[in-house]
């Protein structure tokens, strides 16, 4: 199989435009040429990737195999572009990109501090933060799409190097100021047993939150899950429930919301990780060196 990057770009253009004619115009190709390229890709893979519209419709939809290829093609092209930028960077001037994966956390400030420290000496380094849970971060690291990840999960040190951080995130409950629990200075496990809860979509069964609650999460009234606490805060503001998450992420000043810490206190300790034996680009090497200095 000799799938060409150029043809993957053509396929992604069609997936984006949902129209072969529109994609052809954006690619500056004739429609017959693009159709031939797509047909060749389907023949090479032995799978139908596109469903051409019927009944006069020109809309093009992806098959299940087409959706899989779209996801992988985006990852492949991202990785190719990243490699091109790294290889073309000058040996004399440190310039290029640093890619970071992280969940929501005020600890991301350490990345900002490192970037600001480097900016004075290396203004041509650019930073890209991709947000997601631990599974997302590990997946992106394995695919080579990010250089570093910030995680709270246990780390297999045979696969990853890690830099432990002294800072930690504290857990609490985001709620409306007119809610029954807002009068409390801190929230205890039994306070939440009968309340509608909004929790992180990251698996927590048997984890620190489940242990703190002293209950199996499946036995509690979890009305919603979230990936971003900001989105959860909107659900809270509308009165859907109580969101459990990290402190310092939502500015409650001047809003209908308030944040209360947990009691007993619950903390999560993060680590910055990267793949063992990874060869860093010059910008990534400067960045991890600065992070190590900041953490000492």
- Reported confidence tier of residue 213, pLDDT bands at 50, 70, 90: very high
- What DSSP letter does each residue of 146-177 carry, written as one string? -SEEEE-S---TTTEEEEE-S--EEEEEEEET
pLDDT at 227: 85
- Reported confidence tier of residue 99, pLDDT bands at 50, 70, 90: very high
Rounded CA gap, 295 and 200, in Å?
Answer: 28
pLDDT at 248: 92
Give the highest mean pLDDT range of 21-35, 79-93, 109-123, 133-147. Answer: 109-123
Average pLDDT over residues 286-291: 93
pLDDT at 130: 92
* pLDDT tens, residue by residue, 263-282: 999 999 899 999 987 778 88
Q: CB under 8 Å to 160, separation ≥6 — which residues? A: 141, 273, 274, 275, 276
- Reported confidence tier of residue 144, pLDDT bands at 50, 70, 90: confident
Rounded CA gap, 171 and 162, in Å?
Answer: 23
* pLDDT tens, residue by residue, 215-266: 988 889 999 999 889 999 999 999 999 999 999 999 999 999 999 999 999 9
Mean pLDDT, the chain, rounded, equals 88
pLDDT at 104: 86
218: β partners: none
50: β partners: 62
Average pLDDT over residues 85-91: 61
Task: Give the β-pairing of 148-151 and 271-275.
Answer: antiparallel
Q: CB under 8 Å to 250, separation ≥6 — which residues? A: 174, 229, 230, 233, 257, 259
């Amino acid at each position: 199989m000799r799938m060409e990057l150029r043809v993957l770009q053509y396929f992604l253009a069609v997936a984006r435009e949902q129209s072969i004619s529109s994609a052809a115009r954006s690619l500056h190709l004739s429609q017959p040429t693009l159709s031939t390229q797509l047909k060749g890709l389907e023949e090479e893979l032995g799978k139908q990737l596109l469903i051409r519209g019927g009944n006069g419709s020109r809309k093009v939809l992806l098959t299940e195999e087409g959706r899989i290829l779209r996801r992988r093609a985006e990852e492949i092209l991202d990785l190719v572009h990243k490699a091109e930028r790294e290889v073309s960077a000058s040996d004399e001037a440190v310039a290029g990109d640093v890619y970071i994966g992280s969940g929501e956390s005020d600890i991301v400030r350490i990345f900002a501090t490192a970037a600001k420290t480097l900016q004075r000496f290396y203004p041509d380094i650019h930073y890209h933060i991709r947000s997601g849970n631990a599974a997302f971060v590990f997946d992106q690291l394995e695919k080579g799409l990010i250089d570093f990840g910030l995680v709270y999960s246990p780390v297999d040190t045979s696969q990853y190097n890690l830099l432990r951080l002294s800072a930690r995130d504290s857990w609490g409950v985001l709620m409306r100021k007119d809610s029954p629990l807002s009068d409390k200075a801190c929230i205890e496990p039994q306070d939440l047993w009968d309340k509608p809860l909004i929790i992180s979509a990251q698996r927590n069964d048997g984890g620190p939150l489940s242990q703190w609650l002293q209950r199996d999460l499946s036995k509690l009234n979890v009305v919603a899950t979230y990936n971003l606490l900001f989105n959860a805060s909107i659900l809270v503001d509308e009165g859907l429930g109580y969101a459990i998450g990290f402190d310092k992420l939502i500015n409650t000043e001047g809003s209908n919301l308030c944040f209360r810490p947990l009691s007993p206190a619950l903390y999560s300790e993060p680590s910055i990780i990267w793949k063992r034996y990874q060869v860093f680009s010059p910008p990534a090497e400067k960045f991890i060196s600065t992070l190590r200095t900041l953490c000492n």
